[in-house]
Structure 1
Amino acid sequence: MRHDFSLPEEDEESLNALGIPWETIRDGGNQWLLLHEMPFREGFNHRTGSVAVQIPPSYPTAGLDMAYFFPHLARLDGKTIGQTQCKQPIDGKQWQRWSRHYSWVPGVHSVSTHVVLIHRWLEAATN
């Protein structure tokens, strides 16, 4: 796994505790955290995949938002998942952007809280 840049120690510890492979890369002038072999809920066309999170240069002061999925997720029942139309090139692949936003609070929010929110977005998308 590549580690082109470091995250705060607490973030790296929480990522290691997830028990899935992760890496940090630089691509297209941006910094990305890639979470691999991420489990997805029942109701999606894939049971596992990768999730990318863009890490701003001034993180953790600057906030995280959105998530990018590879392969692209769809509901098995054919219903549309809102705000997922855009594609983002990352690391030579076209990732599906989930446009999700919230108010970032430095010192409260982190990579680990963002991962919790990603799981909530996945749950909401199948309800």
Structure 2
Amino acid sequence: MKEIILNYYQIEKHTAIIAMLIGFSFIVAGSILFWKFRELPLQKGLMYAIFVAGMFFAIGGYAYIFQVNKSLIETELLQNTASELHKNELTRINKVLSSSHKVSSILFTVLYLQVSAFILFHLKVIAKMRLFSVEIQVFI
């Protein structure tokens, strides 16, 4: 049982390294967009978004590697039986799953709001809305 848990943490560590590499590639892509197309506002806006996303991936991957290394050391030092390890891992996994559902819901909502704001404000769309039987026109 202990070997399975240690193998799981090793796989998580490799996944975090991949996330860091994706983050670094986003940072490079954002920098290239900035140096090549700095006059165009769309590419400049994309550069900021890609660069910030790359920073999040890189920092998040590094922090997760740190956390996984700590969990690996704790698991190696445990002298528990298989049933105690199983119980500890089940409670940890339940916490992870409940928090990841909340975070993914928040991220999806933020993404939806960002796409909606982009469509309404950056494409110069005339938005017509009916609110309490009053027609509102927004010219941007």
TM-score of the superposed pair, with normalisation by structure 2: 0.22
Going by fraction, where is strand more abundant, 1 or 2? Answer: 1
RCO comparison, higher one (Cα < 8 Å, 6+): 2
